[in-house]
Amino acid sequence: MGAAHETLGRSASSTLLIIDAQSVKNTDTVGLKGYDAGKKVSGIKRHIDVDKQGFPHVVTVTTADVTDRQGALQAFERCQSSLHQVKSVLTDSGYTGEHFVQGIRKTLGEQVTGWVVERSFAWLEKNRRLSKNHERWRNTSLQFVHLAFLALLLRRS
């Protein structure tokens, strides 16, 4: 994704990330699933970290019972080496609590502020394959999210 940013005249690494999560219903063929009691959804949860223009930097797929905060921390820890230039992380109200703030500071050493990232999920919903989770494995779901964002980046290049 860094090369796509550079072709648009932007840095490959962003200094600002915006995070959010989306619970997605599973079909009956899926093996792993969890239940998001807040959204009343049985399925998976997509966690994405995007820059100001909505381009993804970190994408993680978990079962729906993983909280937004836990999923974001897992994503940051998994991709910590590629996030060395991040100076601030913007979130919505679902990412509260001192434990979450400490986790972000431990991983990135930066400050957390409030924001919303719903537009990137709207782009994902335009892909029929992502309207529900049809995949047996979470990694397959993750790869389809990457493909959807790749198609978006190619259209904008």
- Tens-place pLDDT, residues 108-118: 875 545 474 45
To the nearest 5 percent, what fractions of the chain are helix, strand and coil?
A: 40, 25, 35
Which stretch of 12-16, 19-23, 32-36, 78-82 has the lowest confidence by average pLDDT?
A: 12-16
Residue 22: the pLDDT is 92
The whole-angstrom separation of Cα 4 and Cα 17 is 17
Q: Which residue has the higher pLDDT, 152 or 121?
A: 152
- The percentage of residues in the chain with a pLDDT greater than 70, rounded to a whole number, is 85
Domains of the chain in start order, with CATH, are: 2-156 (3.30.420.10)
The pLDDT of residue 1 is above 60: no
State pTM to two decimals. Answer: 0.68
Residue 51: the pLDDT is 87
**79-138 pLDDT per residue, tens:** 888 887 788 888 877 787 778 888 888 888 755 454 744 566 777 777 878 888 888 888
